[in-house]
Amino acid sequence: MYIARTMSVHSSMNFNQNFDEHSRWRSRFSSELHRLTEWLRQHDLLDAAVAEQVEFLQQRVKGDKVMVAFVAEFSRGKSELINALFFAGYGRRIMPASAGRTTMCPTELGYDPELPACLRLLPIATRLQSRSLSEWRDRSEEWETVHLNVADAQGLADSMAKVAEVIRVKPEEAEQLGFWQAEGGVDKSMLGEDGCLEIPKWRHALINIAHPILKQGLVILDTPGLNAIGAEPELTLSLLPQAHSIVFILGADTGVTQSDLRIWREHLNASGSNPGGRLVVLNKIDTLWDELSTSGQVAQQIQRQRENSAAILGVEPARVLAVSAQKGLVAKIQRDAPLLDASQLPKLEQVLVDGIIGQRRQLLMGAVGAGVAKLVKRAEKIIQSRNRDLTEQLQELEGLRGKNTSVIKHMRMRIEQEQHEFEQSGGRIQAVRTIHLKMLTRLYDALGHAQVGNEVASLTSRLKEPGLKLGVRKTYAQTFEGLRALLTQAGQIAQEINLMLSSSFNQLNAEFGMSLQMTPPPDLMHFSQLLNDIEKDHVQYLSVGYALKLAKPEFSDRLGRALLARLREVFELAASELEGWNKSAATQLDGQLRDRRRNFSRRMEAVTRIQEAAGGLDERMQEITELMNQNNQYQVQLSAHAQNLLLPVVADPLTEQPNAVLA
C-alpha cells in the first residue's frame, strides 16, 4: 500500500483533496448512470441509440485522464519538482533527482488497475526499427518489466533509478539513434578514453503504481532535455499535445537560456492550440537566498527574473511562478510550515489545481451534460412516439362507439390493409438501406488509413530521399492541403447522406405517421483545425536548424512514422463521430419500425376483443389511457434520473459557482 504521512500544512494537500473530490463525483455519476440504465432496460427504453449514448457516458467518465507534462532542459530540477508535488508522502525522493542528468528517457506515470505495479522500459535500440511509439505500446514482450513493491519506499526509489540508466556507444551509433544536434556534431570532449559516449539506455518508460492521485486519473509525463525531445518526434506530435497542462521549468539563477528558448519555441510553441495550458516555473529560488541581502532584495531579484522570463517567452507574468522544489520537498517531509511557505510550492499547487483540475472538470462536465441531454432526448422521443401511437388507437376506438358489427369488421379490414401496405414498404426501406450502406462505404474510405497513407506518401517519399531535403516544406504544405480536402470530401458525403435519409424519413412519416427526424451531420471543421495545429506546431522539423538531422534516414523515418500515426488518430476520431451519427439514424428507424409493427398488433388485438365481447371497447380504451398515463410517469421519472446525474455538476466545488456549461 502507499506509504502516507499526514501533512500538517493544509495547502500542500490541494492536489490530493481536489482529485479525491473529482473521483467521488465520477464514482457517484457512474452509480447514477447504472441505475438509469437498469430503469431504461426495465421499461424497454434502452434501444441501440440510447445504449450507445450510455456507453459513451460510461467510457467518458471512467476513462477520463488528466495529463500533466513536465518539460525542461537538463539540471533544472524537474524530477525534484515531481517528487515535491506528488511523492512527498513517501518521506523521501522517489524519482531520481541528483546533480547532472537524471531522467534520461521520457517517463509516464499512471495507473491501470488491470496491470500489476511495474516499471516497463523500452530499449533505445527500437529507434532503429520501423515502428512508432504507439505501436511499441502494444508489443509488451519487447519491454523490460520491473515489478514494484510500492510499500517499500527505498526499493521503489531504487527501481525508479533505472530510468536514468545509460549505455556507452560509439559516436556513429549515437548519431544513428538521433542523439546529436545537427548543427553541433560530436563534441570530442564528451568522448571517454574508450572513444565512446553515454546515451540513454531506454527509449521510453511506463510506470504503473496505485498512488492515490494516479488512481484518480492523473498521468504525469516527465520529459528529458532538448537532445532527447528533438530525437523523438512522437513526443511533440502526440504525447505533448495530449497533455492538458505543460509545466516548463527554468533555473531561477539562469533564467531563460538559449537551449531553454529553443525547447519553448520549437516544441512547446505557446502560440499553439492550448496556450493557456502552459505554465512556466522558475525553480531553485533557494540559490538566490542570500544572507547578505534582505528578504525584500531577494524578492525583487526573483520578481525581475519572473518578468524577464515572461517577456522572453511571450507569456503573461502571472503564468511564471518561482519555487524551490528541493526546499518544498524537505519542508513537506519535515513538516516545516515556514520553510514550505518560503519555497512557494503551495502557490504552484494552487495554480495547478485551478488550472488543471478546475478546467478539466469543466470540460468533462460539459461533455457529460451534453451526453445526458442527448440520452434523455432520445428516450423521450421513444416515449412520445409510443404515446402518439396510443393516441391514434384511442381515437380509432372512440370512433367505434355505438357502431354495428359490420363497421367493426370494416375497421379490421382497414387495419389489415394498412399493415399489408406497411410490410410492402419493406422493399423500399431495404433499398434506402442499400444506398445508405454504399454512401457510408465512400464516407469511411475517405477517412480510412489507406487514403491518409496515400496523402502522406509523397511527403514520406521525400523524407526518405538521401541528403538534404530541399523543397520538402512545399510537399509538407501540399500534404496537409490534401488531408483537409479529404475532410471536406467526407463532409460533403455526410451531407448527401443527410439529404437522402431526410427525404426517406419524411416520406415514411407522411405515409405511416412516424416521427423520424434526421439530426445534422457532425461539423468536421474542428478536425480541420486539428490538422492546422499539427501542421503549424511541427513545421520546425523542416526548418534550416533541422536540415542536417533531417538528412539522416533514421530521424526522417521516425518523423514520418510519428506524423502518420498522429494524422491517423485525427481521422479515426472524425470517422468515429460520423459513425455515431449514422448509427443514431439507423437505430431510430429500426426502433420506429419495430414500434409500428407492435402498434398494428395491438390494434388488431383490440378489434378482435371488441368483436368477441361487448365490453371489450371500454376495457381496451381504459388500458390505453393507463398506458398513456404510465408513459407520462416514465417521462417524469426520466427527468428525475437526469437531474440526479447532473445535480453534482451544477456547482463547481472549486469555485462554488454554477457551471456555465450546464447552466
pLDDT of residue 205: 93
Cα distances (Å, whole numbers) of residue 345 to 176, 255, 328, 340, 403: 41, 18, 6, 7, 86
Reference 265, options 77, 76, 541; nearest CA is 541
Reference 124, options 166, 96, 161, 159; nearest CA is 166
Question: Which amino acid would we find at residue 235?
Answer: L
Whole-number Å distance between alpha carbons of 582 and 584: 5
Whole-number Å distance between alpha carbons of 472 and 125: 28
Side-chain-side CA neighbours of 138 within 13 Å: the count stands at 4
Give the burial class of 394: count Cβ atoms within 10 A of its Cβ; 0-12 exposed, 13-18 middle, 19 or more buried: middle
Cα distances (Å, whole numbers) of residue 368 to 56, 159, 221, 361, 648: 9, 39, 26, 10, 12
pLDDT of residue 101: 53
Would the pLDDT of 49 be above 60?
Answer: yes
Cell of 98: 541528483
Give the burial class of 23: count Cβ atoms within 10 A of its Cβ; 0-12 exposed, 13-18 middle, 19 or more buried: middle
Is-contact 246 219, C-beta < 8 A? Answer: no
pTM, whole model, 2 decimals? Answer: 0.70
Let me know the angle formed at the C-alpha of 399 by 404 and 383, rounded to the nearest 5 degrees. 135
Query: pLDDT higher for 430 or 424?
Result: 430
Confidence of residue 478 (pLDDT cuts 50, 70, 90): very high
Which residues are paired to 483 by β-bridges? none
Let me know the angle formed at the C-alpha of 642 by 638 and 648, rounded to the nearest 5 degrees. 155
Reference 571, options 458, 436, 440, 446; nearest CA is 446
Q: Give the percent of the chain with pLDDT over 90.
A: 20
Is-contact 350 14, C-beta < 8 A? Answer: yes
Find which of 11-25, 232-246, 338-352 is predicted with most confidence, using mean pLDDT: 338-352
Is-contact 96 79, C-beta < 8 A? Answer: yes
Would the pLDDT of 620 be above 80?
Answer: no
Would the pLDDT of 613 be above 70?
Answer: no
Query: pLDDT higher for 56 or 300?
Result: 300
Whole-number Å distance between alpha carbons of 246 and 302: 22
Question: Which amino acid would we find at residue 497?
Answer: I
Which residues are paired to 122 by β-bridges? 204
User: Distance of alpha carbon 389 from its chain centroid, rounded?
Assistant: 42
Mean pLDDT, the chain, rounded, equals: 80
DSSP state of 255: B
Cell 442499400, located at residue: 434
Query: Rounded to the nearest 10 degrees, how much is the dihedral formed by the CA atoms of 416, 421, 424, 426?
Result: -100
User: What tens digit of pLDDT does each residue of 172-225 get?
Assistant: 888 777 775 444 555 566 677 888 888 889 999 999 998 877 877 788 888 877
Whole-number Å distance between alpha carbons of 74 and 141: 31
Query: pLDDT higher for 608 or 581?
Result: 581
Q: What distance, in Å, lies between the first and last C-alpha atoms of the chain?
A: 41
DSSP state of 436: H
Provide the pairing of β-strand 320-322 with 651-652. unpaired
**Torsions phi, psi for 198 (to 5 deg):** -90, 135
Lowest mean pLDDT among 377-381, 464-468, 570-574, 612-616: 612-616
Would the pLDDT of 302 be above 50?
Answer: yes
Reference 540, options 142, 299, 265; nearest CA is 265
Confidence of residue 4 (pLDDT cuts 50, 70, 90): very low
Would the pLDDT of 438 be above 60?
Answer: yes
Cell of 80: 525534484
Which residues are paired to 222 by β-bridges? 70, 107
Reference 40, options 27, 55, 25; nearest CA is 55
Whole-number Å distance between alpha carbons of 372 and 22: 18
Cα distances (Å, whole numbers) of residue 535 to 476, 477, 478, 567: 8, 8, 11, 10
Q: Which residues contact 411 (CB under 8 A, 6 or more apart)?
A: 396, 400, 607
**Torsions phi, psi for 309 (to 5 deg):** -65, -40
pLDDT of residue 498: 92
Give the burial class of 342: count Cβ atoms within 10 A of its Cβ; 0-12 exposed, 13-18 middle, 19 or more buried: middle
Would the pLDDT of 314 be above 80?
Answer: yes
User: What tens digit of pLDDT does each residue of 96-128 get?
Assistant: 876 555 557 889 999 988 889 999 999 999 888
Confidence of residue 358 (pLDDT cuts 50, 70, 90): low
Reference 490, options 432, 559, 573; nearest CA is 573
For residue 219, the SS3 value is strand
Cell 509488451, located at residue: 140
SS3 content of the chain, % helix, strand, coil (to 5): 65, 10, 25
Would the pLDDT of 138 be above 90?
Answer: no
DSSP state of 330: H
Would the pLDDT of 412 be above 50?
Answer: yes
**Torsions phi, psi for 269 (to 5 deg):** 45, 75
Would the pLDDT of 339 be above 90?
Answer: yes
